[in-house]
Amino acid sequence: QVQLVESGGGLVQTGGSSRLSCTASERLFDSYAMGWFRQAPGKERELVAAISWDGVHQYYEASVKGRFTISRENSKASVYLQMNSLKPEDTATYYCAASSVTGTASSFSQHYGYLGQGTQVIVSS
């Protein structure tokens, strides 16, 4: 069972930046895509970014494209989400995710079967 532990987040002002980190418990991490989901109060969970097993390809949801950057370090079994130009609508709980079915930067939420416990990001206006 893959375990994912997120860190980072917290309270940020509009226009500010924040960096989320996630470490996986297993080295099979190297073979699979990773992603970040978020869920705002009263809304469905959505996939906002994904990265291929080798870090070459990324997927971004339209509302974060150009502001968020996903990256990974396989040697550390870690994935990161750099968030810039944050907006109040980015306020949500952010979840690290791992796929067990694909190594590509899939945009399909169903491909990510493992989720971390989540870390909260609050963007104040």
pLDDT tens, 27-39?
667 889 999 999 9
How far, in Å, CA of 88 to CA of 42, rounded? 15
Residue 37 corresponds to which tokens in the numbers above?
């989901």
Grouping H, G, I as helix, E, B as strand and the rest as coil, residue 86 is coil
Whole-number average pLDDT of the chain: 94
pLDDT digits (tens, 9 = 90+) for 58-93: 999 999 999 999 999 999 999 999 999 999 999 999
CA–CA separation, 19 vs 35, rounded Å? 14
